[in-house]
Chains A and B, each alone.
Chain A
Amino acid sequence: MTTGFVGDVTIFVLALLVGFEVISKVPATLHTPLMSGANSIHGVVLVGVIVLSAEVHGPLGYVLTFLAAAFAGANVVGGYAVTDRMLQMFKKRPAPKPAEAKAEQ
């Protein structure tokens, strides 16, 4: 138990450091999409709901699982879809690199 916990904390701290490093110099126009992108990443909570669903029982457990699954599903699917729509807007502008914009489509 103890080693497992220390292992978890180690992973947590290292992931924090990666998170601090990975966002370095973001242009202000990308702040909102980046926020939205990070928002969809924490939709990974759906994995937690799936794992949890294997052990719940009783009405309370089922209701919580259903709600949590619906919430997490909305978070993850909607999050990625709306981020993609935001980023599509960047392509439509007279982009500084039109060749690259075409290559993406």
Chain B
Amino acid sequence: MNLAFLFAAVCFVLGLHFMNSPATARRGNQVSAGGMVVAVAAAFALVADGGTMTAARWLVLLCGALVGAGVGLWAARSVLMTAMPQLVSLFNAVGGGAACMIAIADYAHNIHQGSGTAVATVLDVLIGSITFAGSLVAAAKLQGYASQPVRFPGGRLLNAVVAVVAVGSAAAVVARVESLPVLLVTLVAALGVGLLMVLPIGGADMPVVISLLNAFTGTAVAMAGFVLNNAILTVAGALVGASGAILTKLMADAMNRSVPSIMAGGFGTGAVGV
């Protein structure tokens, strides 16, 4: 099983590498998809072998995955060419959401056992929900809703307060408070951070923001790997986190902008981003 996961990781790296050049890009995507099929098949084999899968668990898992896959495929096939960036942002959002839910479900399950992964759990919840909310806002902005920077009096203060709440409740979870509601406070506050982070940024900067959030999701997935003690999640997540960070910088450079200035609320984007 671990060899299958290793094979998948190699496919991901090679796939990303092939996507560096237009001539091999499509093959790169196919290599990466092949690795994904192997990884998912290996995961199914793993849990089937584990003997703890009840009928209800299979039902929940398979129904969820099939519904999601169906919706995803339909959306990817039917979307207009011009609307693709929004869709990527949506897929990014749900990826972060899934990583976040893994941490919550695992925490609820192991709450009194002190599994020793509390740091990874809260990081997963924090990063996952920031990217979930942020990517939804980014997709909405690209779609044309609120594409102007949205600022309101006290916005920065509110942002700071929400961030403090998120970090504070996260610290409480790390300090073994062992309470699911505290983790849910972290979740809600981090959603607020994601929302407030992207709202003041203009629509023209969204590709860079989505790339950054993409790197965030990668990191969240790597954290989910720590939570579940699963190496393929850690590897693929770190891979996406790092390459996404580089790509974010490349995209910002190509647009003659700097990432910090975009994240600080974008100077002068209002004039361009309509």
Contacts and interface: CB of A to CB of B under 8 A. Distances in A.
Contacts of B189: none
Interface stretch (B85-93, B148-156, B195-203, B262-270): B85-93
Given A51-B230, A75-B72, A66 B60 contact: yes
B108 interface: yes
Given A56-B109, A68-B102, A80-B33, A22 B229 contact: no
A54 B243 contact: no
Given A8-B225, A11-B235, A52-B105, A19 B65 contact: no
Given A47-B232, A52-B228, A65-B57, A17 B242 contact: yes
B57 A18 contact: no
Given A33-B19, A64-B105, A84-B29, A19 B242 contact: yes
Contacts of A40: 29, 32-33, 36, 91
Nearest to A54: B47
A19 B19 contact: no
A102 interface: no
Nearest to A80: B33
A52 B232 contact: no
Interface in B126-150: none
Interface in B44-93: 44, 46-47, 50, 52-53, 56-57, 60-69, 71-73, 75-77, 79, 81, 84-85, 87-88, 91-92
Interface residues of B, number: 104
6 contacts: A29-B22, A40-B33, A45-B224, A72-B98, A73-B64, A90-B26
Interface of B: 8-9, 12-13, 15-17, 19-23, 25-30, 32-33, 36, 39-40, 42-44, 46-47, 50, 52-53, 56-57, 60-69, 71-73, 75-77, 79, 81, 84-85, 87-88, 91-92, 94-95, 97-99, 101-102, 104-106, 108-109, 116, 207, 210-211, 214, 217-218, 221-222, 224-226, 228-247, 250-251, 254
Given A49-B98, A52-B106, A74-B69, 19 more contacts: A8-B231, A12-B222, A18-B242, A19-B16, A19-B240, A19-B245, A20-B245, A23-B243, A25-B20, A35-B214, A36-B84, A38-B218, A38-B244, A39-B214, A45-B95, A65-B57, A74-B72, A79-B72, A84-B30
Which are the 5 A-B pairs with shortest beta-carbon distances? A19-B242, A78-B72, A73-B68, A69-B64, A74-B72
